[in-house]
């Protein structure tokens, strides 16, 4: 299929909005999902690990 | 350093350096009297120098298996030193190029010292030399600590670090000779660009390979920022530098794009270089070193994820705000403007997250200049992202574009945010890396902090003033409908501000020199402590000394 300038611009102008909003919603769901909280809390305190050696 | 490499790694280093030297030789022959040949000679000497470096310790005993129970930090240490070296060089040229605007005779009639040649030496020197080396050095450190995994091998980090510095050397030496693609922040020619692609892909693979070995279930947010930096810079670099060389023996090439497409591609690259080189990577630094230094976890981990994806999605579309009132279609300009304004949300989320992390540790911020560097960086990050969003609005841009206001904005970001977070992170990192209690002199950190802050403020205020005066003078009409001021009138009006910005830049340069001295003395302090503490068998220097003693007996 040959994509000309106008159809590309048309696609970008219409669907661009929807896929960006969809990605934003996806990120919000992931970040705010209640069961992810434990993982995030562990992650943010994990950097205070005193032992400066690789894990086993 | 080289003694810590296995014999196989030493052999690989020699083989790759020899291949590099051969490439240099081929370039020198193919280039003949073109400047391409000069770069060939530089590559040849660089390759030979590396071979000599490895050969000097080739027969040192192999490192023990015990090394695998520790992180691999040699490349980080070298990266820190290189970063500070480039900082001093890049900022020195910055002060010089600023002085040129006030006193044009300072070129001394030398072609290599003309404005158009030393300006990119300044920009590339500070962005790629200082910033890039600091990003590579800290990324290796943060990556290993947050994944609790050692780097997968000892060769590729060196390939990335040294290869990247070869790119920086080719870039800077090329500018002096007049080799340039004339693309902002993408000046190096095709062969240097190709080399950087190889280096950068190795960097990305190294990152992914280490992540695969991680012992932590979750990938800490700082790594996401570093990865976005590596991946997106690769994409930007490849697309913007698509070009056809005149021949394989000439430095000159022609871009694959032309006209307004070329302009759009360039500013898609240029703005995302700001976004993913100067923002994303340094946010990675901030999200690790700031909580670590403050001793408090990041205020909201969720917010850090949301702002990460916000920045990553939206920055991509903001580049066209550099091309307001041009041949670029109006809707593309509006798109860039809109995304730039929306970008304020994730930017302030990051800045706010950093400052909220410090909430409750303000006593530390007051007493500890290192943490204060990071705090001021977060404030300037918030200020300059607000200013950037504001300047991207078409009506504001009609005043600010092509004036010194833009330069002021860039330096609020580059000095206030990028350099401050880097110096803060390096001051935190250096004692850890050289295994000492603290930096050589906390007083000198304090001196550096005030030099840097006053330099930034003088610089930014000078450029805000001159930019707005310039913008207003260019748009003031008299009663008969013609321009009230000639261009040279506005140049004359700029003179005091150009002197002020040179002073501001000079203070910032002095700060960088103080930092380099402090780091150097810390390294020396670490060495003398290591020499004094003879019981410490953890240090390779001592083990080597012990071995020679035995041989003498």
Rg (CA), chain A: 21
Enumerate residues 6+ apart whose C-beta is below 8 A from B228: B276, B280, B308, B311, B312
Cβ of B149 and A54 within 8 Å?
yes
Q: What is the pLDDT of residues B360-383, one digit of tens each?
A: 899 999 999 999 999 999 999 999
State the pLDDT confidence band at B542, using cuts at 50, 70 and 90.
Answer: very low
The residues facing B477 across adjacent strands are B483
Selected for mutation to probe chain B from A14, A31, A45 (highest B CB count within 10 Å) is: A31
- Give per-residue pLDDT as tens, B395-450: 999 999 999 999 999 999 999 999 999 999 999 999 999 999 999 999 999 999 99
pLDDT at A1: 64
Is the pTM higher than 0.90? The answer reads yes
Residues B8-58: tens digit of each pLDDT: 999 999 999 999 999 999 999 999 889 999 999 999 999 999 999 999 999
Confidence at residue B550, expressed as pLDDT on a 0 to 100 scale? 42
Q: List all residues 6 or more positions away from B158 whose beta carbon is below 8 Å from its beta carbon.
A: B13, B75
* Cβ distance of B297 and A30 shorter than 8 Å: no
Is B284 an interface residue toward A (CB < 8 Å)?
A: no
Locate tokens 């607000």: which residue? B386
What does B325-356 look like in DSSP terms, one character per residue? Answer: TSSS-HHHHHHHHHHHHHTHHHHHHHHHHHHH
The residue of chain B nearest to residue A34, with distances taken between CA atoms, is B302
- B166-225: pLDDT as tens digits: 999 999 999 999 999 999 999 999 999 999 999 999 999 999 999 999 999 999 999 999
**pLDDT level of residue B551 (50, 70, 90 thresholds):** very low
Question: Residue B254 pairs with which residues in a beta bridge?
Answer: B244
CA distances from B535 to B69, B433, B541 (A): 20, 20, 13
Residue B273, both tokens: 């270089």
Both tokens assigned to B34: 């073109």
Interface of B with A in 186-215 (CB under 8 A): 215
Number of CB pairs < 8 Å for A and B?
A: 73
Q: What ipTM does this complex have? A: 0.91
Which tokens sit at B108?
């001394």
State the smallest CA–CA distance between residue A1 and chain B in angstroms: 23
The pLDDT of residue B32 is 87
CA distance linking residue B413 with residue A18, whole number of Å:
32
B363-366 contacts, C-beta under 8 A, 24 or more apart: B364/B294, B364/B295
Which of A31, A52, A55 has its CB closest to that of B306? A31
Cα B223 from Cα B369, distance rounded (Å): 26
d(CA B221, CA B297): 12
Which DSSP letter does residue B424 get? H
Q: Return d(Cα B410, Cα B108) in angstroms, integer.
A: 28
pLDDT value, residue B534: 55
Indicate whether B552 pLDDT > 50. no
What's the pLDDT band for A56 if we cut at 50, 70, 90? confident
Question: What's the mean per-residue pLDDT of chain A?
Answer: 89
Mean of the per-residue pLDDT values of chain B: 94
Residue B222 corresponds to which tokens in the numbers above?
A: 């700082």
Backbone angles phi, psi at B253, to 5 degrees: -140, 165
Interface probe, candidates B306, B318, B331, chain A, greatest A C-beta count within 10 A: B306
Quick one: pLDDT band at residue B538, thresholds 50, 70, 90?
Answer: low
Mean pLDDT of B73-80: 97
Q: How far apart are CA B71 and CA B380, in angstroms?
A: 33
A13, A50, A54: best to mutate for the B interface, most B CBs within 10 A: A54
Residues B220 and B197: their CA atoms lie apart, in Å, by 26
Rounded mean pLDDT, B334-363: 96
Better pLDDT: A11 or B308:
B308
Q: What is the pLDDT of residue A13?
A: 82
What is the mean pLDDT of the segment spanning B328-354?
Answer: 95
Confidence (pLDDT) at B384: 96
């Amino acid at each position: 299929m040959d994509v000309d300038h106008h159809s590309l611009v048309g696609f970008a102008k219409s669907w661009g909005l929807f896929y960006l909003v969809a990605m934003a919603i996806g990120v919000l769901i992931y970040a705010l999902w209640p069961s992810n909280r434990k993982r995030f809390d562990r992650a943010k305190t994990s950097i205070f690990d005193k032992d400066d050696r690789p894990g086993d | 350093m080289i003694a810590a490499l296995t014999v196989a790694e030493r052999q690989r280093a020699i083989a790759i350096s020899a291949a590099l030297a051969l490439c240099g030789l081929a370039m020198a022959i193919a280039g003949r009297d073109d400047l391409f040949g000069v770069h060939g000679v530089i590559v040849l000497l660089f390759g030979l120098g590396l071979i000599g470096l490895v050969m000097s310790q080739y027969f040192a005993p192999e490192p023990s298996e015990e090394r695998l129970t520790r992180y691999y930090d040699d490349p980080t240490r070298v990266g820190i030193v290189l970063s500070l070296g480039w900082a001093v060089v890049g900022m020195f040229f910055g002060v010089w190029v600023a002085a040129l605007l006030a006193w044009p005779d300072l070129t001394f009639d030398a072609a290599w010292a003309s404005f158009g040649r030393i300006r990119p030496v300044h920009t590339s020197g500070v962005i790629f030399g200082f910033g890039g080396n600091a990003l590579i050095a800290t990324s290796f450190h943060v990556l290993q600590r947050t994944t609790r995994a050692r780097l997968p091998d000892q060769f590729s980090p060196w390939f990335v670090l040294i290869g990247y510095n070869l790119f920086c050397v080719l870039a800077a030496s090329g500018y002096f000779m007049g080799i340039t693609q004339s693309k902002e922040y993408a000046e190096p020619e095709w062969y240097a660009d190709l080399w950087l692609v190889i280096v950068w892909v190795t960097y990305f693979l190294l990152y992914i390979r280490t992540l695969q070995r991680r012992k932590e279930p979750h990938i800490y947010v700082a790594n996401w920022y570093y990865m976005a930096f590596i991946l997106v810079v690769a994409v930007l670099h490849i697309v913007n530098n698509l070009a056809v060389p005149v021949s394989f023996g000439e430095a000159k090439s022609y871009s694959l794009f032309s006209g307004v497409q070329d302009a759009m591609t360039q500013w898609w690259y240029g703005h995302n270089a700001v976004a993913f080189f100067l923002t994303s990577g340094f946010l990675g630094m901030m999200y690790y070193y700031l909580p670590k230094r403050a001793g408090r976890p990041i205020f909201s981990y969720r917010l850090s994820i949301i702002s990460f994806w916000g920045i990553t999605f939206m920055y991509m579309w903001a580049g066209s705000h550099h091309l307001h009132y041009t041949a670029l279609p109006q809707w593309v300009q509006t798109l860039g403007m809109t995304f730039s304004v929306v970008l304020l949300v994730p930017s302030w989320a990051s800045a706010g997250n950093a400052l909220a992390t410090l909430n409750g540790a303000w006593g530390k911020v007051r007493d500890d200049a290192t943490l204060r560097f990071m705090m001021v960086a977060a404030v300037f990050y918030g200020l300059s992202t607000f200013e950037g969003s504001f300047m991207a609005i078409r009506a504001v841009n009609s005043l600010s574009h092509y004036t010194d206001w833009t330069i002021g904005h860039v330096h609020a970001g580059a000095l206030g945010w990028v350099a401050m977070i880097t110096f803060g992170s390096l001051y935190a990192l250096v004692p850890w890396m050289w295994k000492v209690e603290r930096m050589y002199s906390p007083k000198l950190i304090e001196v550096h902090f005030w030099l840097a802050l006053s330099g930034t403020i003088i610089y930014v205020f000078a450029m805000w003033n001159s930019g707005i005066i310039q913008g207003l003078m260019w748009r003031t009409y008299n009663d008969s409908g013609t321009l009230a001021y000639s261009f040279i009138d506005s140049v004359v009006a700029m003179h005091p501000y150009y002197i002020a910005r040179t002073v501001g830049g000079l203070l910032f340069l002095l700060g960088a020199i103080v930092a380099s001295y402090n780091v150097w003395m810390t390294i020396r302090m670490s060495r003398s402590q290591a020499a004094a503490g003879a019981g410490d068998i953890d240090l390779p220097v001592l083990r080597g000394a012990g071995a020679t003693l035995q041989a003498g007996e």
